[in-house]
C-alpha cells in the first residue's frame, strides 16, 4: 500500500448544460475530452472526462451534467476551488485568452510563493490557474486551441473549506501521508509527493461559513491515487479500521474505487491508476464516441434517446 496516496487522481463536479461545459473546458481551456460516457449510477446523465491527451491520473476533471438543475452553494464541507498548473511565463497568455472569451477572472495575485489567476466556469465552479508548478508537463491536446508552451499541465491542487480543520488535517497527515508545508491566516497547506508535485490541499478554516450544498457549479468528490487493486484493498481495510464508513470496491471500468467521507463531510474516493481509459477505445480515439460499460450496452438505444445532443471539440456528435 505504501505510506501515502499518490496525489490527486481526479475531481468530479456537477455541471448544468453539457454543451456549455464542453465548449468551456475543451474550447476555452483546451483540455482533451478524454471520455464521453454516462453516470453509472444514473445512466440517463452524461459523465464527461477532461484531461491531458492520454487521460493520465492527476489531470482528469469530470462532470455530471444535470440540465435545468438548481445551482449549488459553495461552503464548508466542500472542495470549493480546483486549481490547475500552467507553465512559467504563461500568465499573460491566459489573462488575454480569458478576457477574449468573456471569462471574468481576477489576478494574477500572489499566494505563498505562487502566482494565481482565479476564474469561474459557466456554472460558477471556482477554478484557479497556478503558474510555475514543479514536475514535468503532460501532453497538450494535438490540434487544440492552446499552444503547447501555454497549455494546462495537470492539477495543482484543491481548496477544501471546513468549519474546523484539525480533524481533516489529521486524516491527511496521519493516514493519507500528506505533510503540512505552510499557513497564512486561516489557510493551511498540505502536500503529498516530492516537493508537493503530486497534489496540494489547502484547508480553509471557516467556522462561521455557510454549509455547502452540492448541486450545479460545485464539486461532488475528489479522488486520490493508488497504484493497483492490492494497494486499494489495503487502504480500504485501514480506513475501515479507523471507523469510517467506506464502500465496497466499485468497478468504474476505467479505475476501481472506494468512497468515504472525511471528518468535515467532503466525499473522498481512492481510485486505482489502472486499467485506464484505453480499455474500450484506442488511445488515439479517446473521446470520439459514447462509450458504455458492458452491463449498460443492452440499453444503448434507450440512453441515446434520453441523452441530450452534444457536439465535441473535433465536431463529433453524441450520443
Structure confidence by residue, pLDDT tens digits, 49-77: 999 989 999 999 999 999 999 999 999 99
Query: What sign for the dihedral angle of Cα 308, 46, 140, 20?
Result: positive
26-44 CB burial, b ≥16 within 10 A, e <16: bebbbbbbbbbbbbbeebe
CATH number of the domain located at residue range(s) 8-318 in this protein: 3.10.180.10
Where is 167: in which H helix or E strand? helix 166-170
Q: Is 92 exposed, middle or buried (0-12, 13-18, 19+ CB in 10 A)?
A: exposed
Give the span between the Cα atoms of 203 and 191, in whole angstroms: 11
187-203 CB burial, b ≥16 within 10 A, e <16: ebbbbbbeebbbbbbbb
The 10 Å Cβ neighbour count of residue 244 is 17
For position 139, what pLDDT does the model report? Answer: 57
For position 144, what pLDDT does the model report? Answer: 84
For position 136, what pLDDT does the model report? Answer: 47
Q: What are the start-end ranges of the E strands in 87-226? A: 105-111, 114-120, 126-131, 154-162, 179-184, 187-191, 200-205, 219-226
CB 86 within 8 A of CB 94: yes
Give the span between the Cα atoms of 175 and 276, in whole angstroms: 26
Residues 6+ apart with CB under 8 A from 145: 27, 28, 30
Give the span between the Cα atoms of 136 and 49, in whole angstroms: 22
Residues in the chain: 319
Instruction: Give me the phi and psi of 252, to 5 degrees please.
Output: -100, 20
Where is 97: in which H helix or E strand? helix 91-100
DSSP assignment letter at 284: G
Instruction: Give me the phi and psi of 90, to 5 degrees please.
Output: -105, 0
- Mean pLDDT of successive 10-residue stretches along the chain, which has 319 residues: 88 98 97 96 96 93 96 97 94 97 95 95 98 59 85 95 97 96 96 74 96 97 97 97 97 97 98 96 93 95 95 90
For position 197, what pLDDT does the model report? Answer: 54
Closest CA to 105 of 127, 86, 85, 133: 127
Domain locations in the chain as residue ranges: 8-318
Can you tell me which residue has the cell 476551488? 81
Half-sphere exposure of 108 toward its Cβ, with a 13 Å CA cutoff?
20
CB 307 within 8 A of CB 301: no
Give the span between the Cα atoms of 244 and 196, in whole angstroms: 26
Where is 86: in which H helix or E strand? strand 78-86
The 10 Å Cβ neighbour count of residue 135 is 17
CB 13 within 8 A of CB 62: yes
SS3 at position 205: strand
**SS3 breakdown of the chain: % helix, strand, coil, rounded to 5?**
20, 40, 40
Amino acid at each position: 500500500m505504501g505510506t501515502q496516496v499518490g496525489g490527486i487522481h481526479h475531481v468530479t463536479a456537477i455541471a448544468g448544460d453539457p454543451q456549455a461545459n464542453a465548449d468551456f473546458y475543451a474550447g476555452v481551456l483546451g483540455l482533451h475530452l478524454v471520455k464521453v460516457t454516462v453516470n453509472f449510477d444514473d445512466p440517463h446523465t452524461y459523465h464527461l472526462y477532461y484531461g491531458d491527451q492520454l487521460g493520465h491520473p492527476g489531470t482528469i476533471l469530470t462532470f455530471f451534467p444535470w440540465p435545468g438543475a438548481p445551482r449549488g452553494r459553495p461552503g464548508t464541507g466542500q472542495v470549493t476551488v480546483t486549481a490547475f498548473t500552467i507553465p512559467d511565463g504563461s500568465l499573460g497568455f491566459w489573462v488575454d485568452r480569458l478576457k477574449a472569451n468573456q471569462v471574468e477572472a481576477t489576478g494574477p495575485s500572489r499566494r505563498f510563493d505562487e502566482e494565481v489567476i482565479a476564474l469561474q466556469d459557466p456554472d460558477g465552479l471556482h477554478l484557479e490557474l497556478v503558474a510555475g508548478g514543479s514536475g514535468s508537463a503532460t501532453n497538450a491536446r494535438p490540434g487544440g486551441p492552446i499552444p503547447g508552451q501555454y497549455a494546462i499541465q495537470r492539477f495543482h491542487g484543491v481548496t477544501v473549506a471546513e468549519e474546523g480543520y484539525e480533524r481533516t488535517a489529521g486524516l491527511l497527515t496521519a493516514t493519507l501521508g500528506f505533510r503540512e508545508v505552510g499557513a497564512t491566516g486561516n489557510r493551511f497547506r498540505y502536500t503529498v509527493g516530492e516537493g508537493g508535485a503530486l497534489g496540494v490541499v489547502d484547508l480553509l478554516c471557516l467556522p462561521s461559513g455557510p454549509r455547502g450544498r452540492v448541486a450545479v457549479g460545485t464539486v461532488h468528490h475528489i479522488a486520490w491515487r493508488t497504484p493497483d487493486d492490492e494497494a486499494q484493498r489495503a487502504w480500504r481495510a485501514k480506513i475501515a479500521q479507523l471507523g469510517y464508513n467506506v464502500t465496497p470496491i466499485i468497478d468504474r471500468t476505467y479505475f476501481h474505487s472506494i468512497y468515504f467521507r472525511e471528518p468535515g463531510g467532503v466525499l473522498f474516493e481512492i481510485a486505482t491508476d489502472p486499467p485506464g481509459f484505453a480499455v474500450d477505445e484506442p488511445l488515439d480515439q479517446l473521446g470520439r464516441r459514447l462509450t458504455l460499460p458492458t452491463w449498460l450496452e443492452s440499453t444503448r438505444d434507450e440512453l441515446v434517446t434520453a441523452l441530450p445532443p452534444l457536439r465535441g471539440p473535433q465536431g463529433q456528435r453524441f450520443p
